[in-house]
Amino acid sequence: MVEITDPDLNQVLEHFEEMVEAIDRYRETLKERHARYKAEKRDPSTYEHVMVLNLRRLDRLQQELEGETYDLLRAALDGSGVLASADEGRWI
């Protein structure tokens, strides 16, 4: 991977990775909550629909992040490598 020398671009990458990880953790939290609600014999009509919708939203968000958004980020990172080389006087 390209060395990222710009602190702002580095922060974008770190936040991107943190978002993907946070989505995975939240998805697991929802699944655990669903199991707990079932064990507590809560009425599914009060929570299940919202939980299923949120799981779908998380899936869509992750697909977006891992699709075009990831491609754009990778292109920006590649471009930063070219610019860093140009700053150093190297031809790519």
**1 assigned to some structural domain:** no
Q: Which two tokens stand for residue 74?
A: 């990778």
pTM: 0.76
**2 assigned to some structural domain:** no
> Among 20-24, 37-41, 43-47, which is the least confidently predicted range?
43-47
pLDDT tens, 48-78?
999 999 999 999 999 999 999 999 988 888 8
Task: Provide the residue range defining the domain that includes 12.
Answer: 7-87
Tell which residue, 14, 16, 7, 5, has the closest CA to residue 71: 16
What is the number of domains present in the chain?
1
* Mean pLDDT across 33-51: 91
> Cα separation of 87 and 72, whole Å?
22
**43 assigned to some structural domain:** yes
**82 assigned to some structural domain:** yes
By CB atoms closer than 10 A (0-12, 13-18, 19+), residue 41 is exposed
Read off the pLDDT band of 24 (50, 70, 90): very high
